[in-house]
Structure 1
Amino acid sequence: MESYSLLFSSSQGAGLLSGFQRLRSDRRMCDVVLETGGVSFPCHRALLASSSEYFWALFGESTVERLAPTVSLPALTPRGLDIILDFLYSGWLSLSPLTLPIVLETARYLQVHEAVSICDRFLNDGLSLNTCCCYANLAECHALPEALAASNQTITMEMAALLQDKREDLLELNIQSLTAVLEAEEIPGVKEAELVRLALDWLEVNGPLPLVRSNLLLSRLRFGLVTPSDLAILSHAHPAMATPLMRSHVTRALEYHGQGAARPIRQSRQTTLRSSANHVLLVGGGVNPDSPDQEVLTFDLKNRKWSSLAPNLPRLLKNHCVCCVGGFLFVIGGEEVVGGTEEGGKTLTTTTTNQVWRYDPRFACWEEVESMLETRAQFTCCVVDDVIYAIGGQHPRADTHTSMASVEFYNMTAGVWRRATPLPRPLYGHASAVLGQALFVSGGIPGHQGCHQGGSRGDQRGSSKELLFLDLGVGGKTWETRAPMSIARFRHHMATVAGSIYALLGMYEPFCDIERYDSLADHWTRLRPLLIGSFSYGLAVTASGTLLLFGGRKWMDGQEVTVKSVLEYDREKDRWKEICQLPRPLCGSECTLLALPN
């Protein structure tokens, strides 16, 4: 067989189109005229049929139009047909936000799929505050799923600005897009009452709709995020809210608001903020460990930006505990610091408290809930299955502070604190962690050794290495001992990450040691020490398992100083690095993750 070579010319295709374009411009060899809106377009059947499935079928062997000199296309506009014909003859598609609708309509009608794809990309690339609603309608009308999803996402992120400046665009939005937006887990900067008003206004403009469709739309709203007073108004704002389904939604929302102490454990999608647990809250603490601030700092994990929670913490607290249940922040016990004046100078007094404060980010308000059975400071708290446990600590007695073995838990259904299995011995300055349904408590100073105010390093001799274990899954009747830590710790932190428990730093460890506990092997492993570490720091564990250490105090030039550093721990590399700094030096803060409105 004779050999041969097959060579390709990249210019042949472009030259072919150029030749056809010249013939069309000169109106030579044109064998069909397309007509719409009184405008005629001489064309070539062969090129049209090879570029468009519509024309391929139109000029088929058995159609009337196969040899017709003129073909009328009344469904198209002259402008749209002109642009598509230019594309077929040149490969260049002229698009702008104004011409996109007619070009896309013409391309879909004539089944010019490449032109539709180009319109799809143009639509995605051109999404903005001004175009997102219009483009969402185009994408929905012409069945462009990727462009529709991108448009809906832009509407969701720009909703606050759209409500203020482009409300008319929102009222013209197709129902599929509006439903998808109201389904979103995050709608930054918008209160739920505003979304309810938008949906009702949309129904007023675009209704009446079949009952099923209006119910489907309104069911995407989260009525539990609307205040009872607003609910009373909005529930009568439109006939669509009078259906049995909508009345049941409003009734459940009002019942939720009336739950009082039980609200954190009565969460549903209707009461959940449109936000993830995206902020670390730094509660209490200050530049001086004895002079805490009421400001609660918030750290946005995504943007690494700082802001302040509003309103401020109701009390000046130190040696307290914080935790999060059901999207609510709880601030528990500690020492309340009260400032006064005496002979022209400022004096501070502290009182150990059993008060519990709850912050609801849905409505940005603090509320005092049931107080603990005992006053506590330098204790620890943790959450198991939405139950808060307060463990050990100190309370005042006569002229000193006495360490405690008592444990109590908060029953949110009844709104009361109840006693639990006490520790084997009094303990304060300890740390706790939760793994499954088990409580782990480590370190601290046992016994009745009086008040500890953080003096010399010699106090370390009273610290403990002990690790205690209480299995709540089998009733939690007896505390057991597990393998002790490799070093005694006091006022340290523990954190559970990826099935392991980490014990970090502390007040008197000379080398800032870190170790990891394997509960299955009952074994501790020493990790690389944080040589620039600190004490009285805040610790948070992100949803991805990252450990973050905020501020604290360290020794510098023979004295304690408060620092601004924010450190992140890389568990894979066993390494810490500074990722940013606090707005100001800070020590004594307690940290937790909380979802806040964006």
Structure 2
Amino acid sequence: MDSYSLLYSSSHRTGLLSGFQRLRSQRRMCDVVLEAGGVSFPCHRALLASSSDYFWALFGETTAERLACSISLPVLTPEGLDAILDFLYSGWLNVSQATLPAVLEAARYLQVEPAVSICEQFIIDGLNAENCCCYANLAERHALTDALEAANQTVAVEMGKLLKERQEDLLRLNIQSLMAVLDADDIPAVKEAELIKMALDWLDENGPIPLLKSNLLLSHLRFGLVASSELTDLSHAHKAMATPLIRSQLTRAQEYHRMGSAQPIKQSRQSTLRASLSRVLLVGGGSSPDWPEQQLLAFDPRSRRFSSLSSSLPLRLRSHCVCSVGGFLFVMGGEEAKDGDEDGKKSVNVATSNQVWRYDPRFDHWKKMESMLERRAQFTCCVVEDVIYAIGGRHKRLDTNAQTSVASAEFYDMATGAWRRGPTMPRPLYGHASAVLDNAIYVSGGVAGHQESSTCTDYQYDHRESSKEFLFWDPNGRTWEKRAPMSIARFGHRLATAHGYIYALLGMYEPFCDIEQYDSVSDHWTRLRPLLIGSFNYGMVTTSSGNLLVFGGRKWSDGREVIVRSVLEYDTKKDRWREICQLPRPLTGTECTLLPLPD
């Protein structure tokens, strides 16, 4: 049998379309005329049938149109039909924002799916505040799923601008898109009360709306984000708010505001802030270790930008602890610094605190909660299943001014708003660190203090007393257990959990650059790459990606302490450090946590 070759010419297909386009422009060999809006378009029946399911069916063997010389398409505009015919004859689709509705209508009606896909991509690529509502309506009408989702997301992101400049576009938005937008987890720079007013205006503009639909629309609003004083007025703001379903949601929102200490563990979608990603909140600290500031800084890991919150800490604190539960910030203990006057000279008076303050970012409100059972500074705190644990620390005796270390642990019962005692550690400890892995608490390092020690400043401790000890406590159990000790004795360091491991890093004393990783399965520590220049008294947080961010702190330079502005990132998977940005000013003694914040 003779061999043969099968070869393909790409130019033939292009030439074939070019030939048909030339015949069409010259009106030669055309066997059918399409009419739209009084305009005639001579075409070739064979090319139409081979390119469109609509024409394939229209020119079938049993249809009346198969032999017709002229076919009227009254639902299409001349501009839309002309653009689709150009596409069928050339492969090029001429579309703009002005012609898009007519072109998409023609493409969908004539079942030219490649043209429909091009229109959908045109919508997705061109979305902005000026056209997102119009494009959402267009995508919803023609069932363009991807374009509709993208348009709805753009409406949510641009809601603040739309409410100020293009509210008429919002009032013409289709109800499916409006519900999707009101269901979004991230609507920047817009208060919930503004969304409620917009939804009620939409109902007035598009009414009358069936009760079922208006209930469904309003149920996507988050009434728990509205202040309690405003909820009563809302129930009378519109007849749609008086339905049993919506009134019940308003009642639940009022009940949530009255829950007091239990609010963080009673969060629901109705009361959750519309912020898809948490930001790092830097609480306290300052440019001097002796005089802490009351500042609150927010850091956005995506843009790497800092912003100051309008609110500030109720107290000047150092050696305090912070954590977040249910969208609330908790600030606990520490040493409260106040202005003093000794022999006519200004001084700083310091007293150890057991106070607990809770900050609600939704309403920019601080509330004093039940105080801890013990006054604590240089202690550690952690959160296990929405329960806050405060462990160890030290405090200054008011009568003798001596330092007393504590071995106690306590936890905060949010349901009752009370602190309760947990199992005592084997010995008093301060300057230690803690982390949570698999709902168990691990505590490392620190100084095993005595019940009373002589008065000394924060960092005048003998580092030879620092501990390598590593303790484990399952909150369901009753006792602390020892695990494999760290390879380095640490004080004033940090622990962090990422990718199933615990990381111990940096600290007050040499070797303060070293990092090690703990594997709970093998109960083993592994030394990692050290930071070139160590620091202490810094803030640290674990990001959602598992990387560690280190903010500011102090380091030794030319034999003296220097407060730094650097923000460092440690990649736990690659064991690599890098500086990603700088703080607005030098900062030491800050404490960090992740918290959803309004824009």
- Both structures adopt the same fold (TM-score exceeding 0.5): yes
SS of residue paired to 1:108: helix
The C-alpha deviation readout for 1:342-362, integer Å capped at 9, x for no partner, is 788642221211111111111
Match of 2:524? 523
Query: Conserved in 1, the CA contact under 8 Å of 2:471 and 2:480?
Result: yes
SS at match of 1:428: coil
Cα gap change, 1:231 to 1:426, in 2 (>3 Å): same
Distance 1:386 1:186 in 2: 23
3-state SS, counterpart of residue 413 of structure 1: coil
Q: What is the one-letter code of the residue matched to 1:555?
A: W
Instruction: Give the deviation of 1:72 after TM superposition.
Output: 1.8
Match of 1:535 in 2: 536
What per-residue deviation string (whole Å, max 9, x for no partner) do you get for residues 446-472 of structure 1? 21333442455x711222222222221
Partner of 2:233, secondary structure, is: helix
Q: Tell me by how many angstroms 1:285 deviates.
A: 0.9
Give the equivalent residue in structure 2 for 1:463: 466
CA shift in 2, pair 1:286/1:38, >3 Å: same
What is the DSSP-based 3-state SS (H/G/I as helix, E as strand, rest coil) of the residue aligned with 1:147? Answer: helix
Residue of structure 1 equivalent to 2:120: 120
Structure 1 residues 480 and 63: alpha-carbon distance in aligned structure 2, compared to 1, 3 A threshold: closer
Tell me by how many angstroms 1:324 deviates.
Answer: 0.8
- Measured in 1, the distance between the counterparts of 2:372 and 2:301 equals 32
| Contact in 1 for aligned 2:512/2:535 (Cα 8 Å) | no
Q: State the alpha-carbon separation in 2 of the partners of residues 570 and 7 from structure 1.
A: 53
Partner residue, 1:401 = 403
Residues 233 and 6 of structure 1, relative CA distance in 2, 3 Å threshold: same
Measured at CA, do residues 490 and 236 of structure 1 come closer, stay the same or move farther in structure 2, by a change above 3 Å? same
Please say if 1:81 is aligned against 2:81: yes
- Equivalences for 1:57-456 in 2 at 5 Å? 57-340=57-340, 346-397=346-397, 398-446=400-448, 447=450, 448-455=452-459
Rounded to whole Å, the distance in 2 between the matches of 1:569 and 1:63 is 71
Alpha-carbon distance between aligned partners in 2 of 1:178 and 1:159, rounded to the nearest angstrom: 11
Secondary structure at 2:408 match in 1: strand
CA–CA separation in structure 1 for the residues paired with 2:518 and 2:46: 76
Separation in 2, partners of 1:90, 1:525: 65
382-391 or 131-140, larger mean C-alpha shift: 382-391
Q: Any gaps of 5 or more consecutive residues in structure 2?
A: none
The 10-residue stretch of structure 1 (340-349 or 40-49) with the greater mean CA deviation from structure 2? 340-349
Which 4+ residue blocks in structure 1 deviate beyond 6 angstroms? 341-344
Matched with 1:564 is: 565
1:157–1:187 Cα contact (<8 Å) kept: yes
Change in 2 beyond 3 A, CA 1:528/1:84: closer
For residues 339 and 246 of structure 2, the distance between their equivalents in structure 1, rounded to whole angstroms, comes to 51
The unaligned stretches of length 5 or more in structure 1 are none
Quickly say closer, same or farther: Cα 1:63–1:561, change in 2 above 3 A. same
Deviation at 1:217, TM superposition (A): 1.9
Question: Secondary structure of 1:425's match?
Answer: coil
Cα offsets for 1:508-539 (capped at 9, x unmatched): 12353222222333332222332301111111
- Asked if the contact 2:498–2:572 (Cα under 8 Å) also holds between the matched residues in 1, the reply is no
| Aligned AA (1:339) | D
In the alignment, the residues of structure 1 paired with residue 277 and residue 67 of structure 2 have an alpha-carbon distance, to the nearest angstrom, of 68
- CA distance in structure 2 between the aligned counterparts of 1:480 and 1:465, rounded to whole angstroms: 14
Rounded to whole Å, the distance in 1 between the matches of 2:186 and 2:59 is 51
Aligned partner of residue 289 in structure 2, secondary structure: coil
Could you tell me how far 1:319 is from its partner in structure 2? 0.9
Structure 2 SS opposite 1:561: strand
Counterpart amino acid of residue 38 in structure 2: G
The one-letter code sitting in structure 2 at the alignment partner of 1:545 is G
Q: Which 10-residue stretch deviates more, 30-39 or 410-419?
A: 30-39
Q: Residue type of the partner of 2:523?
A: D
Amino acid paired to 1:272: T
Q: Is the 8 A contact 1:402 1:450 kept in 2?
A: no
The answer on 1:584 being equivalent to 2:588 is: no
Distance in 2 between residues matched to 1:481 and 1:32, nearest whole Å: 89
Instruction: Give a deviation string over 1:294-333, Cα, whole Å, max 9, x none.
Output: 1111111111111112211121110111111111100101
Residue identity matched to 1:465: K
How far the C-alpha of 1:37 sits from its partner, in A, is 2.6
| Structure 1 position 170, deviation (Å) | 1.1
Aligned partner of residue 416 in structure 2, secondary structure: coil
Contact conserved, 1:278 with 1:301, CA < 8 A, in 2? Answer: no
Partners in 2 of 1:408 and 1:119 — Cα distance? 62
1:246 maps to amino acid: I
Q: Does 1:473 align with 2:463?
A: no
Structure 1 distance, partners of 2:437, 2:12, is 69
CA distance in 2, matches of 1:121, 1:522: 53
Number of equivalences: 595
CA-CA distance at 1:237 after TM superposition = 2.1
Q: C-alpha distance in 1, partners of 2:488/2:455?
A: 22
Larger mean CA deviation between 5-14 and 405-414 belongs to 5-14
Task: Name the SS for the 2:135 alignment partner.
Answer: helix
Contact 1:353 1:375 in 2 (8 A): yes
What TM-score, normalized to structure 2? 0.94
Relative to structure 2, which stretch is displaced further, 81-90 or 348-357? 81-90
Flag the 1:437–1:14 CA change in 2: closer, same or farther, 3 A: closer
Alignment check: 8 A CA contact 1:370 1:416 kept:
yes
Aligned equivalents of 1:439, 1:52: Cα separation in 2 = 66
Alpha-carbon separation, structure 2, partners of 1:573 and 1:15: 54
1:146-181, CA deviations, whole angstroms, 9 ceiling, x for partnerless residues?
A: 111111121121111111111111111111111111
Deviates more, 1:167-176 or 1:514-523: 514-523
The change in CA–CA distance for 1:301 and 1:332 in structure 2 (over 3 A counts) is same
Q: Residues 446-501 of structure 1, C-alpha deviation per residue, up to 9 Å, x if partnerless? A: 21333442455x71122222222222123xx2222222222222222112222322
Percent pairwise identity: 68
SS of the residue corresponding to residue 107 of structure 1 reads helix
Distance in 1 (CA, whole Å) between partners of 2:481 and 2:4 is 85
